[in-house]
Amino acid sequence: MHTPIAGWCAPGFEPVRAAFAENFAERGEVGAAVHVIVGGEVVVDLVGGWADEARTREWRADTIVDVYSVGKAILALLALQLVDDDVLRLDSPIAEIWPEFAAGGKGSATVAHALTHRAGVPAIREQLTDDDLFDWTRMTSAIASTEAWWEPGRRLAYHTNTFGHLVGELVRRASGQMPGERLRQVLAPLDADMWFGVPDDQQHRCADVLWAATGGPPSVAALPPGSFDSLDDDTRMNLLAHVNPPGYSSIGVVNSAAWRSSQIGSTSGHGSASGVARIYAGLLEPGRLLTPAVLALATSPQATGGCPILREEVTFGLGFQPTTARRPLGPNSRSFGHFGTGGALGFADPDAGIAFGYVMNHVIPRWQSSRNRALVDAVYESLAN
């Protein structure tokens, strides 16, 4: 079947179009978009493939899709703006603004701990349902009451899903706005198509997510009686982090209206490649979205260590991922951004003036993929020629 590809590249950026086409021909891409801004000018704006598994809906310029953890950095941006405004303080306990969070040994957890995955709540201990998943108050209350898995600040573990409710609730309590409402206000001047909670009248634009892997992690309820209690602490924590509630990682609910309308900034954010790139372009404009001082803190290493969730050495800024040898964001040392499950990616390179957005719907169950690497490499190849 012929794969439709639309859009354009500026002269000299033909390698990006070639890599984009090769992703469909050789790397299993189904539907995707890539958008690149250099020095404030759009140089790549491509869409291609299909927005559904049956290949009946072409991916359009206005198609949006779940970008998974790409949303973590965007949610962190909302919190960091409140730091800039001195409404939140990085070294202040979370419990100052969210008193219930002090339960379970979490009284010393700070805003910085939340943004660097060191707050001690990568998983919720109380068994929850998918009805709970779509109840913001129920989820944030469950996180607040969870006993810390370690003394906050003493350890790093990727808050793969709870980051959305943890940082989202900080934003809500500090600003008086839910994350989705706050995001629309912040992004309106950028005309960036990114959502925490897609409105009903916009959900027709959503691409279906297609998981390459069959099935998913087991649910807690499906484990043999007594086996859960016999697991070691890190294994138990990892399991709960992904499947408590069962749909917390999107499995079984990802293409539902309830998921698309949820405001879980860690996992259920939807956007276009151009929307993601425009946000990073805004971050490259000094003072437009964050002050230079806060942006420098947010995008430089703030926490490094072995992660029991990702099972490797990781480095985090304040909600952003600085470029590392393991997860490079181009060749320059000051690049920053965030990968998402399946390979979605948003990043900025201040030295090259690049803002990059890539979104897709065929999920390979890992952050990096040959697809995003090919596109990033092609961008830098184009700049070098």
Hunting for tokens 């990043």 — which residue is that?
347
Give the whole-angstrom CA distance, residue 164 versus residue 183. 13
Structure token digits, residue 163: 């980051």
Query: Could you report how far apart the first and last alpha carbons of the chain are, in Å?
Result: 33
Contact indicator for 13, 242 with CB cutoff of 8 Å? no
Contact indicator for 343, 372 with CB cutoff of 8 Å? yes
- Best CA proximity match to 275, nearest among 104, 62, 15, 46: 62
**Backbone phi, psi, residue 358, to 5°:** -140, 130
Contact indicator for 112, 318 with CB cutoff of 8 Å? yes
Structure token digits, residue 352: 């090259």
Per-residue model confidence (pLDDT) at position 214: 47
The separation between CA 255 and the C-alpha centre of its own chain, rounded to angstroms, equals 17
CA distance to 186, 191, 285, per residue, from 356 (Å): 19, 16, 14
- The pTM score is 0.96
Hunting for tokens 């201040």 — which residue is that?
350
Sequence-separated (6 or more) residues with CB below 8 Å from residue 150: 120, 157
Per-residue model confidence (pLDDT) at position 129: 96
Number of H-type helices and E-type strands within the chain: 13, 14
Q: How many CB atoms lie within 10 A of CB 353?
A: 15
Hey, what's the torsion of the CAs at 280, 305, 239, 253, to 10 degrees? Answer: 0
Amino acid symbol at 161: N
Per-residue model confidence (pLDDT) at position 2: 87
Return per-residue pLDDT of the chain as tens, 385 residues: 789 999 999 999 999 999 999 999 999 999 999 999 999 999 999 999 999 999 999 999 999 999 999 999 999 999 999 999 999 999 999 999 999 999 999 999 999 999 999 999 999 999 999 999 999 999 999 999 999 999 999 999 999 999 999 999 999 999 999 999 999 999 999 999 999 999 999 999 999 999 865 444 555 555 555 556 777 889 999 999 999 999 999 999 999 999 999 999 999 999 999 999 999 999 999 999 999 999 999 999 999 999 999 999 999 999 999 999 988 999 999 999 999 999 999 999 999 999 999 999 999 866 568 999 999 999 999 999 8
Per-residue model confidence (pLDDT) at position 353: 98
